[in-house]
Amino acid sequence: MRDSRRFVIQAIFIVVGAVYLIRLFYLQVIDDNYKARADDNAIRRVVVHPHRGQIHDRNGKLIVINEAVYDISVIPKKASIADTLEFCRVMAVSRQYFDSVMTQAAKYSKVKPSSFLKQISVADFGRIQDRLIDYPGFFYTTRIVRHYPHPTLANALGYIAEVSPKKLMNQNYYQQGDYVGINGLESFYEKQLRGQRGVRYVMVNVNGVEKGAFRGGKFDTTAVTGESLVSSIDLDLQLFADSLMQHKIGSIVAIEPATGEILAMVSAPSYDPNLLVGRTFGKNYTTLQKDPNLPMYNRPIQAVYRPGSIFKVIQSLVGLQEGVITPESQFGCVQVPMKCHEHPHGHNDLHNAVQWSCNPYFYNVYRRIIYAQPTGNNWRDAQVGLMAWHNHVKTFGFGTKLDVDIPNGQRGYVPDTAIYNRFYGKSRWQFSNFYSVSIGEGELNVVPIQMANLAATIANKGHYYTPHLVKSVSHGQPLPQYLQRHQTSIDSSYFKYIIDGMADAVRRGTVWSKARIDNIVICGKTGTSQNKKGEKDHSVFVAFAPKDNPKIALAVYVENAGFGGFAAAPIATLVIEKYLKKKIVRRNLANFMIQRDYMPKSKAEAEKRRDDSAAAIRKPLLKIKPLQPAKPRISPAKPIIVSNKTLPKNN
């Protein structure tokens, strides 16, 4: 009997052992729950943010760089400071700041790091770094922020900011707190610039203190630095163009005609892009948004104007293509129905008309285009002619948004039969209802970059490449869409007549004599974009140079500066000189233009100008759907439609 008890005891041992092994098998092999919870406990996924790609200009100069800033953190438990006053002096903080931050830190955690001082510049950090070793518990981490060595191109570059809650939805790449490009190149090339995030798995202890790489970093992925972009911008030219646009509101867009590369792009007034970096972002952003001169409004692609006289060159080309005029066609400058200005009109052929921007001439050209196939029914003929003309004009890139590599551009407007059908009723309109279009007024809307593109198209004698700011993404090529050649519907042989006229317009025509340069044959066309009554018109000039084998084509807009030949033209020729000669011989002219001030003289006037442009748009002349563009982000940029009842005075 006693022996059997021995087996009872041994059986108890074995049963308990077996029960425990079964329980262990359940815990360890069958139930997966604990594995996940262990990882939750001890493994922290740390995202490694790659450095964002930098942006160079076409000559390799840096436009956008990454700069390290330093954050100093403290682990309260390890912190030991012998002389607090001395420490505050080294860190350049007040005693109150020190006390409050240290109290906060200790309250948050004794063993986890808290931020002590944020975004110390390299220069300031140099002073602190040597002394930091004397203060255990304090350590630094580096962060990368954007830095702009030159305060230029702010609107074209855009900026980076924390990803918005709205953008966080319906995507799975970004996480809260990530920085993302907003506007400009930063936004358009976000995928290339942002690089590839890395992930580090670190082990943490029960207090959340990091304890090294999980499994020696076996599962980690390294961050891949974003691609650097080579911009087509010529930084020297850009800075010079910036300086010319001081004290002015307007735009300069300069393009290399052979490639469509944008050489300079000025939106004036602008702001220092460094304002939208780091700690002061929020404050500066608000200030900029409140500025009535709208510094965050990217005028080259967003500001909508009427093209004015510059459009006469298109009317000429369409007329030649349609065969309704020849270069020898003459129309008298008869001041009816349009007035003209003083110019020699003895032999008023196409060349002369372009050179002197003769209004009645182009009235007649446009009339012939619209009534190209006369059947006696003006109402029907106007419809046919208008659509033929509309289709030609569209091939120049007007009326559609140019696919520039910065977002939020405007598309402008080229009238078609639909708009007049709705406006006047179907087939109840003819040429007399919209003849002001002949000289670039009326329902025509353009943005400056479309006009620069027009200059490039003429320089190329009939084709263009979509203007773009980045000539090389990682592999030395621009995006494929910028290698696509766009052909206009105009035969290239017709362009020479226009070009000759434009050359003479600069040599001895509508352009202010002081704007001319020796040694460079510039082809240009002045324009004056009509403005609200009582305010000076916008001065516009498009040009390319040299006449043979053109290297630069550009459009200059100076708001409220009056006649195109006086304000915009000298600025344009200075930009051309700078680009082609690499230096400015006409220093006096340059200084004169730099100092010319076309800004509103008061805040009230600035607001009035801003509101007037908005009011002009708000005029309920046309409530037609296609004319309602996307809501502007910063300032109104709706097409300007004026009644063609007003008689345009034009040049």
Contact positions vs other proteins (CB under 8 A): 2-3, 5-6, 8-10, 12-14, 16-17, 19-21, 23-25, 27-29, 31, 33-35, 37-39, 41-43, 203-207, 211-215
- β-pair partners for 199: 47, 221
Spatial CA neighbour of 601 closest among 536, 548, 547: 536
Spatial CA neighbour of 440 closest among 651, 277, 129, 166: 651
CB 112 → other proteins: shortest distance, Å? 14
CB 15 → other proteins: shortest distance, Å? 10
Kindly tell me which of 35 and 581 has the beta carbon lying closer to other proteins: 35
Kindly tell me which of 174 and 201 has the beta carbon lying closer to other proteins: 201
CB 272 → other proteins: shortest distance, Å? 44
Strand extents, DSSP E, 475-537: 485-487, 523-529
Kindly tell me which of 1 and 82 has the beta carbon lying closer to other proteins: 1
CB 3 → other proteins: shortest distance, Å? 8
* Distance separating alpha carbons of residues 517 and 519, to the nearest angstrom: 6
CB 220 → other proteins: shortest distance, Å? 15
Kindly tell me which of 214 and 494 has the beta carbon lying closer to other proteins: 214
CA 495 to chain centroid, in Å, comes to 31
Kindly tell me which of 24 and 92 has the beta carbon lying closer to other proteins: 24
Kindly tell me which of 19 and 92 has the beta carbon lying closer to other proteins: 19
Kindly tell me which of 13 and 123 has the beta carbon lying closer to other proteins: 13
* Distance separating alpha carbons of residues 204 and 44, to the nearest angstrom: 7
Strand extents, DSSP E, 136-189: 138-147, 159-162, 179-182
Helices (H), 344-439: 350-356, 359-370, 378-394, 417-424
* Distance separating alpha carbons of residues 506 and 62, to the nearest angstrom: 35
What dihedral angle (degrees, nearest 10) is formed by the CA atoms of 303, 304, 309, 314?
110
CB 163 → other proteins: shortest distance, Å? 31
CB 219 → other proteins: shortest distance, Å? 13
Kindly tell me which of 191 and 215 has the beta carbon lying closer to other proteins: 215
CB 201 → other proteins: shortest distance, Å? 10
Q: Decide if 445 contacts 413 (C-beta within 8 A).
A: yes
* Distance separating alpha carbons of residues 433 and 442, to the nearest angstrom: 10
In angstroms, what CA-CA distances link 564 with 4, 454, 627? 118, 17, 27
Kindly tell me which of 42 and 617 has the beta carbon lying closer to other proteins: 42
CA 158 to chain centroid, in Å, comes to 6
Kindly tell me which of 218 and 631 has the beta carbon lying closer to other proteins: 218
> Which DSSP helix (H) or strand (E) runs through 3?
helix 2-25
Kindly tell me which of 109 and 284 has the beta carbon lying closer to other proteins: 109
Cis ω before 149 (30° cut-off from 0): no
CB 80 → other proteins: shortest distance, Å? 20
CB 266 → other proteins: shortest distance, Å? 54
Count the alpha carbons within 13 Å of 35 in the hemisphere toward its beta carbon.
6
In angstroms, what CA-CA distances link 51 with 48, 164, 194, 197? 9, 20, 7, 9
Tokens for 569, please give them.
């033209």
CB 38 → other proteins: shortest distance, Å? 3
In angstroms, what CA-CA distances link 281 with 162, 187, 218, 287, 499? 11, 17, 39, 10, 48
**Planar angle of CA 154, 159, 165, nearest 5 degrees:** 145
